[in-house]
Chain A
Amino acid sequence: MAPAVLIQNLRKHYGQVEAVQDVSLQVEPGQIFGLLGPNGAGKTTTLRCLCTLTQPDSGKLEVAGVSVLKNPKAARQLLGYVAQEVALDKVLTGRELLQLQAALYHLPLGTIKERIQAMLALLDLEAYADQKTGTYSGGLRKRLDLAAGLLHQPQILVLDEPTVGLDIESRKVIWDFLRQLRDSGTTVLLTSHYLEEIDALADRVAIVDRGKVIAEGTPSQLKDQVGGDRVTLRIREFAPWEEAEKAKLLLQALPFVEDVLINTAQGNSLNLVVASQSEALATIQQALKEVGLPTFGIAQARPSLDDVYLAATGQTLMDAEVAAFSKRDPKAERKQNMR
C-alpha cells in the first residue's frame, strides 16, 4: 500500500529566505503524524506545498500514491486541509459554509443535506449551525473549520497548528476528535510548536528546524535515543549561586550523573542528566545531606521531546521560538500566504 503522504527532498524559497531546505518524510495510512518545530521552521510551507497552495522549487510530493504536482485535482480530492488561521465568511451560517464546501468538492446533491447533518452532529455543532459564523467563539470556529475540511471524507487530513490560540477545553475536544478520526482510518498530518500536543497525539513525529528534518521516529524512540533521565533538583526555593555551584561540583562527581546545568531562570535549580536507574534520587539526596545541603524539591523524569530538540539543535524549543519571533517579518509572511 502506498504511503498516505510521501515528501522527498522538498525545497522552497521566498526571495532570499530558504523556507524549506530539504524536507523528506513518509506518513503511513492511519497514523497521526506530527511535524514539530519552532515558528519559521518551514512547517507551514511544507503543508502548503503538499496541499497545492504553493509551488515548490523542487522535490517530490505524493498523497496515496498520487503525484501532487502532476495531478493536483486528484490530490485535492484526497486531502482535507485545515489552515492555521480559520477563514470563515462571517456573514454565512455554519450550515451555509458547509453547503458551499460540499459544492466545491462536488458532493452528489442528494447526499449533501444528510452529510452536513452528520458532520454537524459529529463535531457537536448542531446548536450553532444556523447562526452566522461571525458570532462563533474560537473553539467553535475551529470545529466548523474541521467539519469543512472533513466534509468530503478525505483519506488524509492536514492540519496546520490545530489548537493555536484555543483554551484548554477546546484543545482537548479537538485532540479527542483527531484520535477518533485516526482510529477510524483517516491519516492525520499536523504541525505544532506545542511539545505536549505532539506528545499527546502523534504516533510518529518529525522535528523540523530551519527548513530541515533533524529527527524522525515515534516520540518514545526519539526520547530513548537522547537517553538518560532528567532530574530537576531545587536545593532551596531560591538557592544562592554559591550553594548551587557547590552542589553542582558534588553531583558531577557521582558516577551515574552525565551532565549538570544550573538553571538561573528557576531560582538556581539544577538540571541533571542521569543514567536511567531508579535509585538516582535517593543517592543524590544522601550526597547532599552529607555536605549539609537541604533538598527543597527533586523530581525525576524521562526525557521530553524538548530534550530531543535540545540535543539536536543545541537550544530549547522555547529559545528557538523566541529567536524566531524576533526575526519574523509578518508582512512578508502574509504575502507568502496570499494567493
Chain B
Amino acid sequence: MTTTPVKPDLSSQSLAGSPILNLDTPGLLSKEFLQETLALARRLFIQLQRRPSTLIAGIIQPLMWLVLFGALFKNIPEGLFGTNQTYGQFLGAGVIVFTAFSGALNAGLPVMFDREFGFLNRLLVAPLASRFSIVLASAIFIATLSLIQTAAIVAVSALLGAGLPGLFGLGIVVSIVLLLVLGVTALSLGLAFALPGHIELIAVIFVTNLPLLFASTALVPLSFMPTWLRVIASLNPLSYAIEPIRYIYLHSDWSLGSIVLQAPWSSVTMGTALLVLLGFDVLALVSVQRLLRRSLA
C-alpha cells in the first residue's frame, strides 16, 4: 500500500487493492530502524534549534564554573592541588565531566513530557521496527550536546591557560564523556518511565546532581577529604571520568598504565578507570533494560 501513488482524491486509498500483509516486520538495525531513529533525533534537534536557550545556558553555566569557581581559589598556594598546578587547571576536568553528567541526567525530561502530553502514544501506536529507537534518538541527541559543551569548555580552559591535550588525548577525553553520557542517559530514561511525572523526575535529578558532584574529585583532590568521603568519592563513577581527563591535561606522557587515582584500597590506572566506566554503562543498561522493555515492549 505504501507504493500507491497519491492523488488528492480519496479514491486512491483503495481497500480492495491493498497488498497481502507482510507479517515479517523489520527489527533492530534494519533500514526502518535507522529511518525512525533519525526522524526522532531530528525532532529533538529541531526543538533545540528553535529553543536554543537550554544549549546556550548549558554552555554558559560550565564557563561560569570555570571562571567564577576557579577565581574563588585563585590565591591558594600553587602546588597545593598537586605538582605545578593552578586551581584553574585542576578544575577543568571536573567541569567537563560534571557538565556532561548533568546534561545526561536531564535526558529523561523530554521523554517524560512526551509521556505526559500523550505524544509518546503517537510513537507507540506506530509500527516501529524497535522501540529502542526512542532511547537511541535521545542518546544521540544528548551525546551531541555534551560534545558541544565539552568543546566549549576545552577551548575556554585553553584560553585561561590550562593548556590543550594532544589529539590522542582529546580522543580519550571524548570517549570518556561518551561513556559517561551513555550510562547516565540510560538511567535517566529509565527513571522517565518508572516515575509518575516530571515533578518526581526533577526532584530525583535535583537530589542526585549536587551530592554526586561534591562526593567526587571534581572540585578537590581525594587527599583533601576525610576518609569516609574518600571512600565514597572512590566509588563514584564521576571520579573515574574526572581523574583520567585531569591526568591527560597534566601529563603529555600519559599511557593506559598511568596511575590516575589513589583509592583507599588500591591505585587505579587509566585503563582500569576506562574499564570501570564501561562496567558502569553495562550495569546501567542492564538495570534499566527490563524497565524499558516493560514500558516500551
Contact = CB atoms under 8 A, between A and B. Distances in A.
A83 B117 CA distance: 11
A334 B16 CA distance: 39
B126 interface: yes
Contacts of A107: 2
Interface string A90-101: 011000100111
B122 A99 contact: no
A180 B5 CA distance: 19
A183 B10 contact: yes
B38 A103 contact: yes
B83 interface: no
B6 A64 contact: no
A118 B13 contact: no
A320 to B, nearest CB: 26
Interface string A216-254: 000000000000000000000000000000000000000
Contacts of A102: 39
Contacts of B11: 184
A30 B10 contact: no
B51 A91 contact: yes
A15 to B, nearest CB: 14
A114 interface: yes
B21 A339 contact: no
B39 A153 contact: no
Interface stretch (A68-76, A206-214, A260-268, A303-311): A68-76
B119 A89 contact: yes
Nearest to A116: B6
B125 interface: yes
A79 B50 CA distance: 32
A292 interface: no
Contacts of A132: 50
A153 B13 contact: yes
Given A91-B47, A104-B123, A83 B118 contact: yes
A118 B39 contact: no
Contacts of A198: none
A136 B59 CA distance: 33
A312 interface: no
A104 B128 contact: yes
A77 interface: yes
Name the prevailing secondary structure of the B interface residues.
loop
Contacts of B125: 51-53, 76, 79, 81
B21 A64 contact: yes
A45 interface: no
Interface band, chain A:
35 or more
Contacts of B13: 153, 181, 184-186
Contacts of A115: 6
Max chain A C-beta neighbours (<10 A), residue from B6, B16, B22 = B6
Given A77-B21, A337-B118, A91 B50 contact: yes
Contacts of A187: 15
Interface in B21-50: 21-23, 25-26, 32, 35-36, 38-40, 42-43, 46-47, 50
Max chain A C-beta neighbours (<10 A), residue from B5, B25, B51 = B25
Max chain A C-beta neighbours (<10 A), residue from B11, B117, B126 = B126
B289 to A, nearest CB: 17
A164 interface: no
Nearest to A93: B46
B189 to A, nearest CB: 14
A188 B117 CA distance: 25
A91 B42 CA distance: 12
A201 interface: no
A152 B118 CA distance: 20
Given A83-B121, A87-B122, A122-B10, A339 B115 contact: yes
B113 to A, nearest CB: 10
A78 B1 CA distance: 10
Interface in B111-167: 115-129
Given A103-B39, A104-B39, A181-B10, A77 B16 contact: no
A29 interface: yes
A316 to B, nearest CB: 31
Given A71-B23, A100-B43, A106-B26, A121 B8 contact: yes
B53 interface: no
A156 B42 CA distance: 29
B75 interface: no
* Across the A-B interface, the 9 shortest Cβ-Cβ residue pairs: A103-B39, A184-B10, A87-B118, A185-B15, A104-B126, A76-B127, A73-B25, A118-B6, A106-B32
Interface of A: 29-30, 51-53, 64, 66, 71, 73-74, 76-79, 81, 83, 85, 87-89, 91-92, 96, 99-109, 111, 114-115, 118-119, 121-122, 132, 148, 152-153, 155, 180-181, 183-187, 334-335, 337-339
6 contacts: A71-B23, A74-B127, A83-B121, A118-B8, A119-B6, A337-B121
Interface of B: 1-11, 13-16, 18, 21-23, 25-26, 32, 35-36, 38-40, 42-43, 46-47, 50-51, 115-129, 196, 295
